[in-house]
A = this chain, B = another copy of it.
Amino acid sequence: MTTAMEPVWVGVDVGGTKVLAGVVDVMGHVGRTARRATPGRRVDIAQVEDALEAAVLEAADGFPIAGVGVAAAGFVDAAADRVMFAPHLPWQGQNVRERLSERWGVPVVLDNDANCAAVAEWTYGAARGAHSALVVTMGTGIGGAILMDGRLVRGANGMAGEFGHMQVVPDGQTCECGGRGCWEQYSSGNALVRFARQRMGEQPSVLEEASGGNPDRVTGPMVTEAAEAGDMVARQAFASVGDWLGVGVANLVAAFDPDVVVIGGGVSQAGDRLLEPARNALQRSLVAAAHRAVPPIVSALLGPEAGLVGAAELARRAGGQPRR
Protein backbone atom coordinates (compact mmCIF):
# COMPACT_ATOMS: atom_id res chain seq x y z
CA MET A 1 0.00 0.00 0.00
CA THR A 2 1.30 3.37 -0.96
CA THR A 3 0.59 6.14 1.52
CA ALA A 4 0.40 9.78 0.50
CA MET A 5 4.02 10.54 1.24
CA GLU A 6 5.64 7.27 0.23
CA PRO A 7 8.18 7.78 -2.55
CA VAL A 8 7.47 6.17 -5.91
CA TRP A 9 9.71 4.43 -8.44
CA VAL A 10 9.32 5.69 -11.97
CA GLY A 11 10.29 3.98 -15.21
CA VAL A 12 10.57 5.90 -18.45
CA ASP A 13 10.93 4.38 -21.90
CA VAL A 14 12.54 6.71 -24.43
CA GLY A 15 11.60 5.31 -27.80
CA GLY A 16 11.91 6.46 -31.38
CA THR A 17 8.53 8.18 -31.44
CA LYS A 18 7.40 8.61 -27.84
CA VAL A 19 8.58 9.00 -24.27
CA LEU A 20 6.45 6.89 -21.92
CA ALA A 21 6.82 7.26 -18.15
CA GLY A 22 4.98 5.32 -15.46
CA VAL A 23 4.96 4.71 -11.73
CA VAL A 24 5.66 1.02 -11.04
CA ASP A 25 4.74 -0.60 -7.76
CA VAL A 26 6.49 -3.44 -5.97
CA MET A 27 4.31 -5.99 -7.76
CA GLY A 28 5.33 -4.64 -11.16
CA HIS A 29 1.98 -3.00 -11.74
CA VAL A 30 1.99 0.24 -13.68
CA GLY A 31 0.09 3.08 -12.04
CA ARG A 32 -0.20 6.55 -13.47
CA THR A 33 1.51 7.01 -16.84
CA ALA A 34 2.40 10.03 -18.95
CA ARG A 35 3.69 10.39 -22.47
CA ARG A 36 5.42 12.97 -24.61
CA ALA A 37 6.53 12.93 -28.23
CA THR A 38 10.23 12.15 -28.73
CA PRO A 39 11.69 15.45 -29.92
CA GLY A 40 13.80 13.73 -32.57
CA ARG A 41 17.47 13.37 -33.32
CA ARG A 42 18.39 16.81 -34.62
CA VAL A 43 17.43 18.72 -31.50
CA ASP A 44 19.29 19.97 -28.46
CA ILE A 45 19.90 17.35 -25.79
CA ALA A 46 18.14 19.59 -23.28
CA GLN A 47 14.92 19.24 -25.29
CA VAL A 48 14.96 15.48 -24.85
CA GLU A 49 15.71 15.85 -21.17
CA ASP A 50 12.87 18.34 -20.83
CA ALA A 51 10.49 15.86 -22.42
CA LEU A 52 11.69 13.10 -20.07
CA GLU A 53 11.30 15.36 -17.08
CA ALA A 54 7.81 16.42 -18.04
CA ALA A 55 6.71 12.81 -18.48
CA VAL A 56 8.37 11.63 -15.25
CA LEU A 57 6.91 14.46 -13.16
CA GLU A 58 3.44 14.02 -14.62
CA ALA A 59 3.59 10.28 -13.87
CA ALA A 60 4.82 10.86 -10.31
CA ASP A 61 1.94 13.30 -9.81
CA GLY A 62 3.43 15.12 -6.86
CA PHE A 63 4.65 12.06 -4.99
CA PRO A 64 8.30 12.13 -3.98
CA ILE A 65 10.45 10.11 -6.37
CA ALA A 66 12.65 7.35 -4.91
CA GLY A 67 14.46 6.71 -8.17
CA VAL A 68 14.05 6.69 -11.93
CA GLY A 69 14.92 3.98 -14.43
CA VAL A 70 15.49 5.05 -18.02
CA ALA A 71 15.07 2.59 -20.91
CA ALA A 72 16.63 4.01 -24.05
CA ALA A 73 16.22 2.87 -27.65
CA GLY A 74 19.95 2.93 -28.38
CA PHE A 75 23.38 1.62 -27.47
CA VAL A 76 24.18 2.02 -23.78
CA ASP A 77 27.82 1.62 -22.73
CA ALA A 78 29.23 -1.17 -20.58
CA ALA A 79 29.03 0.92 -17.41
CA ALA A 80 25.35 1.67 -18.10
CA ASP A 81 26.02 5.41 -17.89
CA ARG A 82 26.08 6.66 -21.46
CA VAL A 83 23.91 6.43 -24.54
CA MET A 84 26.58 5.98 -27.19
CA PHE A 85 24.30 6.18 -30.18
CA ALA A 86 20.57 6.13 -30.82
CA PRO A 87 18.98 6.33 -34.26
CA HIS A 88 16.19 8.67 -33.11
CA LEU A 89 17.79 10.58 -30.23
CA PRO A 90 20.52 13.25 -30.06
CA TRP A 91 22.61 11.51 -27.37
CA GLN A 92 26.06 10.55 -28.58
CA GLY A 93 28.18 9.45 -25.66
CA GLN A 94 26.77 11.79 -23.00
CA ASN A 95 26.58 10.48 -19.44
CA VAL A 96 22.81 10.45 -19.49
CA ARG A 97 22.53 8.66 -16.17
CA GLU A 98 24.57 11.25 -14.33
CA ARG A 99 23.01 14.24 -16.11
CA LEU A 100 19.51 13.17 -15.23
CA SER A 101 20.44 12.17 -11.69
CA GLU A 102 21.96 15.61 -11.08
CA ARG A 103 19.05 17.36 -12.72
CA TRP A 104 16.46 15.51 -10.65
CA GLY A 105 18.42 14.97 -7.45
CA VAL A 106 17.43 11.30 -7.33
CA PRO A 107 19.19 8.05 -8.25
CA VAL A 108 18.85 7.22 -11.94
CA VAL A 109 19.67 3.96 -13.70
CA LEU A 110 19.95 3.55 -17.44
CA ASP A 111 19.90 0.65 -19.86
CA ASN A 112 18.77 -0.11 -23.37
CA ASP A 113 15.12 -0.92 -23.92
CA ALA A 114 15.66 -4.60 -24.78
CA ASN A 115 17.59 -5.17 -21.55
CA CYS A 116 14.94 -3.36 -19.51
CA ALA A 117 12.14 -5.36 -21.10
CA ALA A 118 14.02 -8.58 -20.35
CA VAL A 119 14.39 -7.65 -16.68
CA ALA A 120 10.65 -6.99 -16.54
CA GLU A 121 9.83 -10.36 -18.11
CA TRP A 122 12.19 -12.10 -15.72
CA THR A 123 10.83 -10.33 -12.64
CA TYR A 124 7.11 -10.22 -13.42
CA GLY A 125 6.47 -11.87 -16.77
CA ALA A 126 7.14 -14.82 -19.03
CA ALA A 127 10.61 -15.66 -17.70
CA ARG A 128 9.62 -15.51 -14.04
CA GLY A 129 11.33 -18.20 -12.01
CA ALA A 130 13.76 -19.04 -14.80
CA HIS A 131 17.42 -19.46 -13.96
CA SER A 132 18.51 -18.29 -17.39
CA ALA A 133 16.56 -16.81 -20.27
CA LEU A 134 16.96 -15.45 -23.75
CA VAL A 135 14.64 -12.62 -24.67
CA VAL A 136 14.29 -11.99 -28.39
CA THR A 137 12.56 -8.75 -29.34
CA MET A 138 11.01 -8.75 -32.82
CA GLY A 139 10.15 -5.32 -34.07
CA THR A 140 11.24 -3.94 -37.41
CA GLY A 141 14.50 -5.82 -36.65
CA ILE A 142 15.61 -8.21 -33.92
CA GLY A 143 17.01 -7.10 -30.58
CA GLY A 144 17.45 -9.11 -27.46
CA ALA A 145 18.90 -9.73 -24.08
CA ILE A 146 20.46 -12.52 -22.06
CA LEU A 147 19.68 -13.19 -18.42
CA MET A 148 21.80 -15.46 -16.23
CA ASP A 149 20.70 -15.96 -12.64
CA GLY A 150 18.30 -13.12 -13.23
CA ARG A 151 21.09 -10.72 -14.01
CA LEU A 152 21.64 -9.12 -17.38
CA VAL A 153 24.64 -10.18 -19.39
CA ARG A 154 25.63 -6.73 -20.65
CA GLY A 155 28.90 -7.53 -22.40
CA ALA A 156 32.31 -5.90 -22.69
CA ASN A 157 30.85 -3.01 -24.72
CA GLY A 158 27.32 -3.17 -23.32
CA MET A 159 26.39 -4.73 -26.66
CA ALA A 160 25.43 -8.27 -25.68
CA GLY A 161 22.13 -9.42 -27.15
CA GLU A 162 22.59 -8.10 -30.69
CA PHE A 163 21.08 -11.30 -31.99
CA GLY A 164 19.62 -9.73 -35.13
CA HIS A 165 23.02 -9.40 -36.76
CA MET A 166 24.10 -13.00 -36.49
CA GLN A 167 24.77 -14.19 -40.03
CA VAL A 168 22.46 -17.05 -41.00
CA VAL A 169 22.80 -16.96 -44.80
CA PRO A 170 26.21 -16.57 -46.50
CA ASP A 171 26.01 -13.75 -49.06
CA GLY A 172 22.37 -13.33 -48.13
CA GLN A 173 20.11 -10.27 -48.01
CA THR A 174 21.91 -6.98 -47.53
CA CYS A 175 21.38 -5.52 -44.05
CA GLU A 176 21.37 -1.90 -42.84
CA CYS A 177 24.30 -2.83 -40.59
CA GLY A 178 26.48 -3.24 -43.68
CA GLY A 179 26.54 -7.02 -43.39
CA ARG A 180 24.76 -9.64 -45.43
CA GLY A 181 22.50 -12.50 -44.45
CA CYS A 182 21.75 -11.17 -40.95
CA TRP A 183 19.09 -13.06 -39.04
CA GLU A 184 16.76 -10.05 -38.87
CA GLN A 185 16.65 -9.97 -42.67
CA TYR A 186 14.73 -13.26 -42.46
CA SER A 187 12.85 -12.95 -39.19
CA SER A 188 11.45 -9.55 -38.18
CA GLY A 189 8.66 -7.14 -39.00
CA ASN A 190 10.60 -5.98 -42.05
CA ALA A 191 11.13 -9.57 -43.19
CA LEU A 192 7.43 -10.27 -42.79
CA VAL A 193 6.51 -7.34 -45.00
CA ARG A 194 9.17 -8.13 -47.58
CA PHE A 195 8.02 -11.71 -47.88
CA ALA A 196 4.40 -10.61 -48.37
CA ARG A 197 5.38 -8.00 -50.96
CA GLN A 198 7.38 -10.52 -52.96
CA ARG A 199 4.57 -13.06 -53.03
CA MET A 200 1.68 -10.70 -53.68
CA GLY A 201 2.01 -10.82 -57.43
CA GLU A 202 2.40 -14.58 -57.52
CA GLN A 203 -0.91 -15.59 -55.98
CA PRO A 204 -4.21 -13.94 -55.05
CA SER A 205 -4.14 -12.07 -51.77
CA VAL A 206 -6.31 -9.63 -49.86
CA LEU A 207 -3.14 -7.59 -49.53
CA GLU A 208 -3.68 -6.52 -53.14
CA GLU A 209 -6.78 -4.62 -52.15
CA ALA A 210 -5.54 -3.52 -48.74
CA SER A 211 -2.49 -1.93 -50.33
CA GLY A 212 -4.32 -0.49 -53.32
CA GLY A 213 -2.33 -2.87 -55.51
CA ASN A 214 0.93 -1.21 -54.44
CA PRO A 215 3.26 -3.64 -52.66
CA ASP A 216 5.24 -0.71 -51.23
CA ARG A 217 2.21 0.20 -49.16
CA VAL A 218 2.00 -3.14 -47.37
CA THR A 219 2.66 -2.79 -43.62
CA GLY A 220 3.21 -5.27 -40.79
CA PRO A 221 -0.23 -4.74 -39.25
CA MET A 222 -1.76 -5.29 -42.71
CA VAL A 223 -0.05 -8.67 -42.95
CA THR A 224 -1.17 -9.60 -39.43
CA GLU A 225 -4.76 -8.69 -40.25
CA ALA A 226 -4.67 -10.53 -43.56
CA ALA A 227 -3.29 -13.65 -41.85
CA GLU A 228 -6.13 -13.54 -39.34
CA ALA A 229 -8.59 -13.32 -42.23
CA GLY A 230 -7.09 -16.51 -43.69
CA ASP A 231 -5.04 -14.96 -46.46
CA MET A 232 -2.49 -17.49 -47.71
CA VAL A 233 0.24 -15.02 -48.65
CA ALA A 234 0.10 -13.48 -45.18
CA ARG A 235 0.04 -16.88 -43.50
CA GLN A 236 3.02 -18.04 -45.54
CA ALA A 237 4.83 -14.87 -44.52
CA PHE A 238 4.31 -15.72 -40.85
CA ALA A 239 5.29 -19.34 -41.46
CA SER A 240 8.54 -18.24 -43.07
CA VAL A 241 9.39 -15.63 -40.45
CA GLY A 242 8.45 -18.09 -37.69
CA ASP A 243 10.58 -20.85 -39.19
CA TRP A 244 13.58 -18.53 -39.39
CA LEU A 245 12.87 -17.42 -35.83
CA GLY A 246 13.23 -21.02 -34.69
CA VAL A 247 16.41 -21.58 -36.69
CA GLY A 248 18.07 -18.58 -35.08
CA VAL A 249 16.76 -19.49 -31.65
CA ALA A 250 18.24 -22.98 -32.12
CA ASN A 251 21.65 -21.40 -32.68
CA LEU A 252 21.32 -19.34 -29.51
CA VAL A 253 20.08 -22.32 -27.51
CA ALA A 254 23.01 -24.43 -28.73
CA ALA A 255 25.33 -21.74 -27.38
CA PHE A 256 23.52 -20.82 -24.10
CA ASP A 257 21.21 -23.68 -23.20
CA PRO A 258 18.69 -21.40 -21.43
CA ASP A 259 15.62 -22.44 -19.43
CA VAL A 260 13.25 -20.45 -21.56
CA VAL A 261 13.12 -18.31 -24.70
CA VAL A 262 10.81 -15.30 -24.54
CA ILE A 263 9.70 -13.58 -27.75
CA GLY A 264 8.63 -9.96 -27.38
CA GLY A 265 8.16 -6.96 -29.64
CA GLY A 266 5.37 -6.04 -32.01
CA VAL A 267 5.59 -9.09 -34.27
CA SER A 268 5.18 -11.41 -31.27
CA GLN A 269 1.61 -10.24 -30.90
CA ALA A 270 0.78 -12.72 -33.67
CA GLY A 271 1.23 -15.40 -30.98
CA ASP A 272 1.16 -19.00 -32.12
CA ARG A 273 1.00 -18.04 -35.79
CA LEU A 274 4.61 -16.98 -35.27
CA LEU A 275 5.63 -19.24 -32.40
CA GLU A 276 4.37 -22.61 -33.64
CA PRO A 277 6.61 -22.65 -36.73
CA ALA A 278 9.42 -21.37 -34.51
CA ARG A 279 8.93 -24.24 -32.05
CA ASN A 280 8.93 -26.75 -34.91
CA ALA A 281 12.12 -25.30 -36.34
CA LEU A 282 13.77 -25.33 -32.91
CA GLN A 283 12.90 -28.97 -32.39
CA ARG A 284 14.19 -29.78 -35.88
CA SER A 285 17.36 -27.66 -35.76
CA LEU A 286 18.58 -27.92 -32.17
CA VAL A 287 21.53 -30.21 -31.58
CA ALA A 288 20.71 -33.26 -29.45
CA ALA A 289 17.07 -32.20 -29.16
CA ALA A 290 16.14 -35.77 -28.23
CA HIS A 291 18.60 -35.81 -25.32
CA ARG A 292 17.74 -32.57 -23.59
CA ALA A 293 14.90 -30.45 -22.30
CA VAL A 294 14.18 -28.24 -25.32
CA PRO A 295 13.36 -24.82 -23.86
CA PRO A 296 9.85 -23.50 -24.38
CA ILE A 297 9.41 -20.56 -26.74
CA VAL A 298 6.84 -18.30 -25.12
CA SER A 299 5.32 -14.88 -25.75
CA ALA A 300 6.38 -11.93 -23.65
CA LEU A 301 3.64 -11.01 -21.18
CA LEU A 302 4.17 -7.37 -20.37
CA GLY A 303 3.48 -5.73 -23.72
CA PRO A 304 4.55 -2.22 -24.65
CA GLU A 305 5.09 -1.21 -21.00
CA ALA A 306 7.80 -3.85 -20.44
CA GLY A 307 10.59 -1.32 -21.01
CA LEU A 308 9.45 1.13 -18.36
CA VAL A 309 8.57 -1.64 -15.90
CA GLY A 310 12.05 -3.14 -16.26
CA ALA A 311 13.71 0.25 -16.00
CA ALA A 312 11.85 0.97 -12.75
CA GLU A 313 12.80 -2.49 -11.49
CA LEU A 314 16.48 -1.81 -12.20
CA ALA A 315 16.20 1.48 -10.32
CA ARG A 316 14.55 -0.30 -7.41
CA ARG A 317 17.28 -2.94 -7.33
CA ALA A 318 20.00 -0.30 -7.46
CA GLY A 319 18.25 1.37 -4.55
CA GLY A 320 18.58 -1.79 -2.52
CA GLN A 321 14.93 -2.71 -2.79
CA PRO A 322 14.89 -5.66 -5.15
CA ARG A 323 11.59 -7.32 -5.84
CA ARG A 324 13.34 -10.68 -5.68
List the interface of chain A (C-beta within 8 A of B): 75, 84-85, 131-132, 144, 146, 148, 153-170, 177, 179, 182, 247, 250-252, 254-259, 285, 287-288, 291-293, 295
Contact = CB atoms under 8 A, between A and B. Distances in A.
Nearest to A292: B157
Sorted from nearest, which 4 A-B pairs have the closest CB atoms?
A155-B257, A165-B287, A166-B251, A160-B257
Contacts of A163: 254-255
Contact of A255 (B154, B177, B247, B252): B252
Interface of A is mostly: loop
B170 A169 contact: yes
Contact of A85 (B146, B257, B259, B291): B291
Contacts of A153: 132, 148, 256
B157 A255 contact: no
A155 B287 contact: no
B131 A156 contact: yes
Nearest to A144: B255
A170 B167 contact: no
A167 B259 contact: no
A256 B160 contact: yes
A155 B286 CA distance: 14
Contacts of A259: 156
Nearest to A85: B291
19 contacts: A84-B291, A85-B291, A148-B148, A156-B293, A157-B257, A157-B292, A157-B293, A160-B256, A160-B257, A163-B254, A164-B287, A165-B254, A165-B287, A166-B250, A167-B250, A168-B168, A168-B170, A177-B287, A251-B251
